[in-house]
Chain A
Amino acid sequence: MDISILAPSATGWGDELLSGLWITVSLALTTLPFGLVLGLCFASLALSPSRMARGLAAAYVTVFRGLPELLTLFILYNGLGMFLNTVLSALAHDHVAVDLSPFLTGAVALALVFGAYAAEVFRGAFMALPPGQIEAAFAIGMSDWQVFHRIKFPQLMRLALPGLGNLWINLIKDTALVSVIALNDVMRQGFVASNVSKQPFLIYGAVCVLYWGLCILSETVLGWLEHRSNRGVRFVK
């Protein structure tokens, strides 16, 4: 084994792996806001009085939690492209070919999966809010939106944080799947590097360590965030 191939230089693979790590992190960070919004929307639908809204939310959550992430990714990568091509070609009366970038497809697929799990986390958090506070807010004449952003949302984040933290770590790990559709993330760079250098164990070991580092860093930050979001809460031992 020759450690020097991991050096961040022209002859080593360290710089390629680190640039791949940057793509992995950007993909996860791009996905996060969309996933959170999807999760919030579908959690609200799941708790709405309308039967149809509840049915829609249940279907979304069941499908995207039940399918393998890899299959979701392939369905979007192949299906969304074909669908857009058909629709746009019909609209333009001409042959139109859109090429979806792996980054965009990956972000959409991961956001759909993240949203489905986050909807369940948010639903649990919504249900844990003391109903008296919401009644009180309505009683003093707050609008729906005021109740949401003054009463529900600030407490929601505290209650949902542990669950969302787990989802974030899963998201980081799931980004590795996007390498299968040729996104140049750290996993794919590792694949290329191991093919060229013929030292797969060393390279994939380094890739694993990079992911591990990301996860440990995330856990530390999440622990700090959780501590911070619980400042106003009294614990009785």
Chain B
Amino acid sequence: MTFTLENWPLLLKGAGLTLQLAIGAFFIGALLALPLALLRIYGNKLASGIVRVLISFLRGTPMLAQLFLVYYGAGQFRPQLQALGLWTFLREPYFCALLTFTLNTAAYQAEILRGGIRAVPAGEVEAAKAISMSFGLQLRRIICPHAYRIAMPALGNELILMIKGSAIASVVTLLDLMGQARLIFARTFDFGIYLQAAILYLVISFAVVRLWRLLEWWSAPQFRRPVPTSNPVTTGGQP
């Protein structure tokens, strides 16, 4: 077992793809999660039921099985997909992984947001209705700010889970951090490469945790705890 730096350019390149897949899927998933959560709560019985089954399926099956369903399953519908012009996307492992991760995280984020929306103080929504705010305005000014603030820590957890979960992209030939480590191991049988990849994953997780705390701190100035200092004028807190 050796620790050399010669493989680090490849590992870092892999880490770049890991971050690109995980963060990309997380934020595209976030765009899908809000409508899903809203349909689940405010939709009629049919819409709410469909969203419920969809979320249950995405959360109740392994992401690896979902990835295979998309990546290998798409091949079965090749003529139809070619007619629709979707084949150029679905034959690429990159887009299959991105699509799978996006749908998966959207389901988890929708459930997190649902919890957040449920926790909005009822009085504030009633007050908004009483002054005849439209539903869109209620969402924008009352519900979403509250819901996202409550959901922030759980969304951070989800981002970390996404970064770890994205390692399965290596199974469909993508050279993310895990994929690069597997490739180098297959070539050199140097077990140290896995430990180096492990250190990189831990560093990425730590960095994302710190950045997310910063984001939470920055996005909710009214909840910053004053720091007890000798100078009573200084408040504002630290992330």
Contact = CB atoms under 8 A, between A and B. Distances in A.
Interface residues of A, number: 39
A74 B180 CA distance: 13
Contacts of A60: none
B177 to A, nearest CB: 9
Interface string B59-90: 11111111011001111110000000000000
B90 to A, nearest CB: 11
Contacts of A82: 191
B65 A216 contact: no
Given A68-B167, A71-B178, A204 B60 contact: no
Contact of B76 (A68, A70, A74, A201): A201
A63 interface: yes
Contacts of B75: 200
Contact of B171 (A1, A175, A180, A211): A180
B15 interface: no
State the main secondary structure of chain A at its contact with B: helix
Contact of A208 (B69, B171, B206): B69
9 contacts: A63-B198, A68-B167, A71-B178, A176-B64, A187-B64, A187-B65, A190-B65, A207-B68, A211-B62
Interface of B: 56-57, 59-66, 68-69, 72-77, 164-168, 170-171, 178, 181-182, 185, 191, 194-195, 197-198, 201-202, 205-206
Which 10 interchain pairs have the tightest Cβ spacing?
A: A201-B73, A68-B167, A176-B62, A200-B72, A215-B60, A204-B69, A173-B62, A68-B164, A201-B76, A208-B61
